[in-house]
Copies of this chain bind each other. A is one copy, B any other.
Amino acid sequence: MTKFNSLLTAVALASSVSMALAADALPTEAPAPADNPTTPAKVALGKMLYHDPRLSSTGTVSCASCHNVMLGGEDNRPNSMGVNGQTGGRSAPTVWNAAFNQVQFWDGRAESLEAQAAGPVTNPIEMGMKSWDEVVARLNSIEGYQKAFADAFGGNAISKDTATKAIAAYERTLITPNSPYDKYVTGEKSAMTEQQVRGMNKAVELGCTGCHSGPAFNGPGVFQKFPMHSNGMYLAKYHFNKDLGLADVTKKQGDEHLFKVPTLRNIALTAPYFHNGSVKTLDEAVKVMGKLQLDKDLSEQEIKDIVAFLNALTGEFPEQKMPILPPTAGMTFN
């Protein structure tokens, strides 16, 4: 078989199997819940809140600190750094395309972006506010926020409910379309390289798509056990078993080591990998996944091809204006 024929075969194969990988390209709009339709005023307010470090006790940490939308939507750290330099045990998931997650947080304990947004603000090692009452009081002291909340929610006052709705509305706009993969599945077959197509086919053949399918490559299931297969070397090296995942929330033994299936979108930008950020490179992450989830030793070539494919999932990051945060006179932090 000539090289040309080989390429044609690969493309033909890819055309048929790509339907297994993802039914569609990434949607350019995210669905919103019935009680929080997306509006420009909410998005504008949410963008301000998302970038406002005054939502943290020290005035130094905003949502954007750990979920940086000028980068890949997170912070490239094994674990994020909250107020006063504190760190936790999990790696910040990307906010880009989080609107397409069925649940939020690594342990899936939040069923919506709204519920997720309520968490970090009052987490003592993240944003460190004592309570949402304290957050609301602080926001109420800022005249510009009074106006922005009124614009977004009519007569409704500033509250935990409206603040988290606004943040979620903004997050629903954080979508990265037009990756090489998206172009490929919408007909532009030259958008992926031969190696990327080969990697895609390999991912399907191996069964990666059993969990990582759908437009955001994070379904159709919601949770998956990790690790599925035991491997002494990897567990000793990466300590995957220390974190009980969903069982930490439900206290059920059957939920031990269940984690939300994370999106593969933009994964080339979001090192380090896994719930504890213990794996530094995408090559190693693919190798580990092969062994621990599929019980397979992938060859170097297979790994390189799959990594090439994963690089085809890097989308286009929309231009955004910086929010001008409403000023307040005399607010200071320690």
Contact = CB atoms under 8 A, between A and B. Distances in A.
Contact of A330 (B53, B271, B319): B271
B322 A320 contact: yes
Contacts of A311: 329
A154 interface: no
A314 B330 contact: no
Contact of A331 (B60, B85, B271): B271
Nearest to A266: B327
A237 to B, nearest CB: 15
Contact of A321 (B58, B76, B78, B320): B320
A332 to B, nearest CB: 4
A190 interface: no
A63 B188 CA distance: 41
B325 A322 contact: no
A95 B285 CA distance: 41
Nearest to A277: B332
A236 interface: no
A99 interface: no
A96 B282 CA distance: 40
Interface string A256-299: 00000000000011011000010011100000000000000000
Interface size class of A (residues with CB under 8 A): 35 or more
A325 B70 contact: yes
A268 B78 CA distance: 39
Interface in A204-260: none
A92 to B, nearest CB: 11
A72 B321 contact: no
Contact of A70 (B85, B319, B324): B324
A22 interface: no
Contacts of A11: none
Nearest to A267: B329
Contacts of A277: 332
A132 interface: no
A84 interface: yes
A332 B76 contact: yes
A12 interface: no
The 5 A-B pairs with the shortest beta carbon distances in the complex, nearest first, are A85-B85, A84-B85, A272-B332, A60-B81, A320-B322
Interface of A: 51-54, 58-60, 65, 68-72, 75-78, 81, 83-86, 268-269, 271-272, 277, 280-282, 311, 314, 317, 319-325, 327-334
6 contacts: A59-B77, A70-B323, A71-B325, A271-B331, A317-B324, A320-B321
